[in-house]
Structure 1
Amino acid sequence: MPQRDVMQALTALEPKTKAAKVREVMPLIEQRISAGVRIADILKALRESGIDLTEATLKSYLYRYRQKQQVERETTGQKIQSNAQRSSATDPVSQRHYSDSSSITDSDSSAQVASHGPISMQELDRLMKPDPAEQAEKLARYERLAKQQRRSRT
């Protein structure tokens, strides 16, 4: 059998598992979710296409996909950083720029995180659902400050 026929035969093979079928369209699913399409609508479209999943399973697949994408981004970032270090060792101008950019303070850390792309789901969850005890402490502090200000005005 010629190599061309083998390649065509392998290319014609369709994935058998649900996970593999969803993995093929995961970038499109992510794009639609970021555009505001509900997961329920995505599930409906998948079911109509012959991929029957529960919402929990789809969310699990999304989680795994996002984790993999994050690891790939971090790996790419490390490669870029090591390339920058190598090139800056030979170029004094870029070396000066690199040393200036490495002295980022804590106040600039939020800008630094924002430049790395989307935040993880865990970080988003932490931001959207703050600790109730921490919120209560902050609220009590603000109430004390307001009472002190009222007392100082009279």
Structure 2
Amino acid sequence: MSNYWLMKSEPDTFSIDDLKRLKTSPWDGVRNYQARNFMKEMKKDDLVFFYHSSCSPPGIAGIAKISKEAYPDHTSWDPTHTYFDSKSTESNPKWVMVDVTFVEKWSSILTLAALKQSPALADMLLTKKGSRLSVMPITKNEWEYIITMLKNKRPLAGQIATYHQ
């Protein structure tokens, strides 16, 4: 049985286009314990909504899948790396990463505003006030509802942002 996830990335750091170009990439640099614990639960072939954050507009840009389960995030051991953590060592790693593989890029971003407007998604972690996790679980019902929203263009006009290539 597959699990479903949402993973956030700032598109000027790593976008859905970057993943499409690379095909598969490690998802490194997660430095929140709750998000790390979610990553430890990820299984090969679990599906992931790829979410663009800290941009205008933020929203879901496409789909990826987990292609390698959690393993130590070696960037935490490198003192020259942005994600260095002096408390994490090779013998006692504190952080993990997973590998994600590109599945599809949507022609439109399903915006956070559209997700928040949907009563069916009121309990989704992403839509709750103050939720800032970069990795979070999605229920099967939330996953299916979001896929239906995109296919039916259910959000109000302006709530699905077209990509500008």
TM above 0.5, one fold? no
TM range (shorter): under 0.3
TM-score of the superposition, structure 2-length normalised? 0.24
Select the structure of larger CA radius of gyration.
1
